[in-house]
């Protein structure tokens, strides 16, 4: 299967802990996106990379959040000092340079207790 | 401003057509999308339409765009139980990277 993959699929953590998620995009895709989805809502954009460069960050991405894509392939999203409000599904998507078709992974569901 | 609105629920009988409606506010949107999300899963890209098109058909799916009214619809012909899911309408500007999603319409199928 050459789709977008995300790990872990589920993460339960205690408030104040740090967590890191990984996304592996479709191999030939240049762009990689992170979105967050809370219950009953559509996904909201967080940030995106073109190759290894992080080109846009949403105001939703507080300074506790950091994303990297060091070699232009997989990406990680780290949340430091997690809060209960961080509980959500974190979705990764990838696309070619044009960005017309964004393909999503299965998501990582984060629960902060 | 950026806003995409959809009704929350739709119930249809198996075999009938489903029509899911969406309105968007930004007339400069270039791409309009329909995504499907099944429980606990990520989003599946169903189809999308450029703003210079009025209609796009792909097997059982028909997308209609009324640019004047900023109204987008998705018609699913011969609705099946496997079509039960949440359907998201979304928009994107050609110069932008992000897709802006509505809150989704939950489609349920009754026998």
pLDDT digits (tens, 9 = 90+) for B63-91: 999 999 999 999 999 999 999 999 999 99
Q: Do A42 and B45 touch (CB under 8 A)?
A: no
Using CA atoms, how far apart are residues B39 and A74, in angstroms rounded to an integer?
26
- Which residues, including other chains, have CB under 8 Å from residue B62's CB and lie 6 or more apart? B55, B56, B74, B75, B77
Contact of A106 with chain B, judged by CB distance below 8 Å, is answered with yes
**Mean pLDDT to the nearest integer, A44-48:** 96
Q: Which residues of B touch A58 (CB under 8 A)?
A: 98
Distance of CA A101 to the CA centre of its chain: 17
Residue B51 has pLDDT above 70, yes or no: yes
CA distance A34 to chain B (A): 10
- What pLDDT is recorded for position B2? 62
Name the DSSP letter for residue B8: S
Residue among A48, A56, A55, A111 nearest A85 (CA): A111
A31 to chain B, closest Cα gap in Å = 9
Q: What confidence score (pLDDT) does residue B26 get?
A: 78
Banded model confidence at residue A57, pLDDT cuts 50, 70, 90: very high
pLDDT at A75: 98
A97 shares contact with chain B (CB less than 8 Å) = no
φ, ψ for residue A8 (rounded to 5)? -75, 175
Looking at residue A1, its pLDDT comes to 55
Per-residue pLDDT reduced to its tens digit, A58-103? 998 899 999 999 988 999 999 999 999 999 999 999 999 888 899 9
Task: End-to-end CA distance of chain B: give it in Å, rounded.
Answer: 41
> Tokens 């499907």 map to which residue?
B36
Rounded to the nearest angstrom, the minimum Cα separation between A92 and chain B is 9
Cβ-defined contact of B48 to A41 (cutoff 8 Å): no
Q: State mean pLDDT over A24-34.
A: 95
The larger pLDDT score, comparing residue B96 to residue B46, is at B46
What DSSP assignment string belongs to A62-108? Answer: -TTEEEE-TTSS-EEEEESS--GGG-EEEEEEEE-TT-SS-EE---E
Q: State the pLDDT at residue A79.
A: 98
Give the pLDDT confidence score for residue B54 in this predicted structure.
93
Segments of chain B assigned E as strands: 4-6, 9-13, 18-24, 31-37, 43-50, 55-58, 61-66, 71-76, 85-92, 100-101, 105-110
Give the closest-approach CA distance of A42 to chain B in angstroms.
5
* A36/B26: higher pLDDT: A36
Q: Which of A20-24, B3-7, B59-63, B77-81 has the lowest mean pLDDT?
A: B3-7
| pLDDT at residue A100 in the model | 85
Provide the token pair at A43: 């996904």
Among A21, A43, A67, most B C-beta atoms within 10 A, so best to mutate, is: A43
Interface of B with A (CB under 8 A): 4, 31, 35, 41-45, 48, 88, 90, 92, 97-104
């Amino acid at each position: 299967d050459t789709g977008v993959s995300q790990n872990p699929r589920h993460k339960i953590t205690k408030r104040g802990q740090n967590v890191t998620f990984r996304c592996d995009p479709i191999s030939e895709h240049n762009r990689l996106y992170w979105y967050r989805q809370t219950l009953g809502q559509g996904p909201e954009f967080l940030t995106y990379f073109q190759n290894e460069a992080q080109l846009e960050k949403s105001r939703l991405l507080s300074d506790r959040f950091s994303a990297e894509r060091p070699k232009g392939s997989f990406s990680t999203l780290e949340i430091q000092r997690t809060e209960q409000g961080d509980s959500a599904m974190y979705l990764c998507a990838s696309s070619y340079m044009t960005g017309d078709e964004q393909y999503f992974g299965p998501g990582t569901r984060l629960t902060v207790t | 401003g950026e806003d995409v609105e959809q009704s929350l629920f739709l119930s249809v009988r198996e075999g009938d057509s489903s029509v899911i409606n969406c309105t968007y506010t930004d007339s400069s949107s270039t791409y309009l999308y329909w995504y499907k999300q099944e429980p606990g899963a990520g989003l599946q890209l169903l189809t999308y339409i450029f703003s210079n098109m009025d209609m796009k058909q792909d097997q059982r799916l028909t997308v209609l765009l009324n640019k004047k009214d900023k109204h987008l619809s998705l018609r699913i012909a011969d609705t099946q139980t496997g079509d039960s899911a949440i359907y998201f309408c979304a928009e994107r500007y050609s110069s932008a990277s992000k897709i802006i999603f509505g809150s989704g319409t939950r489609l349920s199928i009754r026998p």
